[in-house]
Chains A and B, each alone.
Chain A
Amino acid sequence: MNLTLHVWRQKSRDTNGSFATYQASGISPDASFLEMLDVVNEELIAKGEEPIHFEHDCREGICGSCGMMINGTAHGPMGGTATCQLHMRHFNDGDEVWVEPWRARAFPVIKDLIVDRSPLDKIIQAGGFISVNTGSAVEANTLPIPKPVQERAMDAAECIQCGACVAQCPNGAAQLFTAAKISHLGLLPQGQPERYERVLKMVEVMEEHFGSCTLFRECEAVCPKEISTEFITRMNKDYLTAQVKR
């Protein structure tokens, strides 16, 4: 396949970026989007040009580092996939593809398609953990947890912190991320002691960096793990309960 790419190039945080156009030729339909960029980069390197910088690690949809905006949609047109799992067969020969970094005030561009997603870590640091004494792991079966609860907690825990929810949201809101993190702990017995304190702290840090939810549900549509906005409702409930309790 042959494609025309328009890729955002930006030298550093403090410089202005712009789109550059590249031809991606002889791409296998079985290549992933990142592999297609690898091919383009090989050519750039051979010509002595600076390759396109993008973040990647696992290339199997579990580390969350590979996010980019493809034709105006986070992680591209497929839904339920990270960019590394998006295959070129979902594009047509001759397509024009626009590739941009995540855009949000909280996510400044570091270089080309790489952004600084550390504000998400700050939300986790505010309360996305369970305080327990360390030691050998507790025997799993000593804490009975009903199957539906386990599964719901797992649905939330699938979040890979890629930031697509923020990138897609016209408000730059991190509600889906924060709600998923709050819920996977708050649904389980281990998360109960700090449940309400956690939601207050995490929401406070979230609001320092990100926008506010208008229920567009754009985040849910692009989330590579298809995390439901119902967790946002659940977060709101815990937040309101926590406010009433305090």
Chain B
Amino acid sequence: MNWFGNFYRSALGKKAVMAVTGVILFGWIFLHMVGNLKLYLGPVHLNEYAHFLRAMGSPAVPESFALWVSRIVLLVCVVLHIHAATVLTIMNREARPVGYRDRDYPSATYAARTMRWGGVIIALFVVYHLLHLTTGTVHPSFIKDDVYHNVVTGFRVWWVAAVYIIANLALGLHLYHGLWSMFASLGVTNARVSKWKRAFATTFAVVITAANVSFPLAVLSGLVR
């Protein structure tokens, strides 16, 4: 723990932690997207899948145990990721208190420059999303364990669909830069890996965003009802 504290105190250490927690969150968001594709197979499949998530590991471990373990891992990752980002942002603001009258960005991409606000949008969305589809607190006709019903009736409200679409576009930009920059933060100098990192980041950012954005669009257009 002492070692970790020492390591995490440095900015380079924080970046490495952001990269590792980012990869874990990415792995999770990818699986989440794949699981959500069951929306297209109909209510039976999606609800069975949701049931499977809760039953995962049982009877070896109690019902929902595996689900809660993964929730705790995710929560730790989210907290570290956001903490490091906040501390580094403050450090960077302090390092450059005065800007230029007129500045050019010859190289920085839009995605890179919006990482901070993009991250805030995604975090706010996650809170809303949990209250919407996990707890049902802000869902007008939430039926516990009928995930299909909750998703479809949820997305029929146009502004709810819009919130999901905007948040997932922000997620796409975040992944586009993050999945590429993590290789540098982790010091991956291997030439064969480096050659593919741009393609890797672009592919996964596009696939995850396209699939996630397709769900509210499918409901709005009546394709999924």
Q: Which residues of A contact B (CB under 8 A)?
A: 19, 69, 71-73, 79, 98, 100, 103-106, 169-173, 203-204, 207, 209-218, 220-222, 229-230, 232-241, 243
Contacts of A237 in B (CB 8 A): 187-189
Contacts of B101 in A (CB 8 A): 19, 72, 98, 100
Also in contact, A171 and B96, with CB within 8 A (given A215-B177, A233-B184, A240-B186): yes
Measured in the bound complex, the distance between the Cα atoms of B13 and A98 in whole Å is 38
Residue in A73, A105, A214, A232 whose beta carbon sits within 8 Å of that of B104 in the complex: A73
- Interface centre among B16, B92, B96, B194, by most A CB within 10 Å? B96
B82 proximal to A (CB < 8 A) = no
A221 to B100, Cβ gap below 8 A?
A: no
A105 to B95, Cβ gap below 8 A?
A: yes
Say what secondary structure dominates the interface of chain B.
helix
Residue in A106, A171, A222, A241 whose beta carbon sits within 8 Å of that of B92 in the complex: A171
Contact with A along B76-89 (1 / 0, CB 8 A): 00000000000010
Which residues 69-109 in B have Cβ within 8 Å of A in the complex? 88, 91-92, 94-108
Stretch in contact with the other chain, from B4-12, B34-42, B47-55, B210-218: B4-12
CB distance from A95 to the nearest CB of B (A): 13
Contacts of A173 in B (CB 8 A): 92, 95
Interchain Cβ contacts under 8 Å between A and B, 10 examples: A104-B95, A105-B97, A204-B10, A212-B14, A212-B91, A213-B184, A216-B107, A222-B106, A239-B187, A241-B187
B100 to A72, Cβ gap below 8 A?
A: yes
B96 to A103, Cβ gap below 8 A?
A: yes
CB distance from A184 to the nearest CB of B (A): 15
Contacts of A69 in B (CB 8 A): 100
A234 to B88, Cβ gap below 8 A?
A: no
A71 to B102, Cβ gap below 8 A?
A: yes
Residue in B15, B88, B97, B112 whose beta carbon sits within 8 Å of that of A236 in the complex: B15
A172 to B96, Cβ gap below 8 A?
A: yes
B106 to A218, Cβ gap below 8 A?
A: yes
Give the residue name and chain of the A residue nearest to B88 (CB). Answer: A212
Also in contact, A238 and B106, with CB within 8 A (given A98-B101, A171-B95, A171-B96): no
B134 proximal to A (CB < 8 A) = no
Measured in the bound complex, the distance between the Cα atoms of B16 and A235 in whole Å is 12
Measured in the bound complex, the distance between the Cα atoms of B11 and A232 in whole Å is 13
CB distance from B18 to the nearest CB of A (A): 10
CB distance from B118 to the nearest CB of A (A): 12
CB distance from A218 to the nearest CB of B (A): 5
What 14 additional pairs, Cβ within 8 angstroms, besides A218-B108, A236-B15, A241-B187?
Answer: A71-B102, A98-B102, A104-B96, A105-B94, A171-B96, A210-B95, A212-B12, A212-B88, A215-B181, A217-B107, A221-B107, A233-B187, A236-B16, A236-B187
A207 to B11, Cβ gap below 8 A?
A: yes
A170 to B7, Cβ gap below 8 A?
A: no
B97 to A218, Cβ gap below 8 A?
A: no
CB distance from A241 to the nearest CB of B (A): 8
B112 to A169, Cβ gap below 8 A?
A: no
Measured in the bound complex, the distance between the Cα atoms of B108 and A235 in whole Å is 21
Give the residue name and chain of the B residue nearest to A232 (CB). Answer: B184
Measured in the bound complex, the distance between the Cα atoms of B103 and A100 in whole Å is 11
Contacts of A218 in B (CB 8 A): 105-108
Measured in the bound complex, the distance between the Cα atoms of B184 and A216 in whole Å is 12
Give the residue name and chain of the A residue nearest to B16 (CB). Answer: A240
Measured in the bound complex, the distance between the Cα atoms of B93 and A211 in whole Å is 8
Residue in B92, B104, B113 whose beta carbon sits within 8 Å of that of A211 in the complex: B92
Measured in the bound complex, the distance between the Cα atoms of B108 and A72 in whole Å is 14
- Interface centre among B10, B95, B105, B107, by most A CB within 10 Å? B95
CB distance from B164 to the nearest CB of A (A): 27
Measured in the bound complex, the distance between the Cα atoms of B11 and A44 in whole Å is 46
B202 proximal to A (CB < 8 A) = no
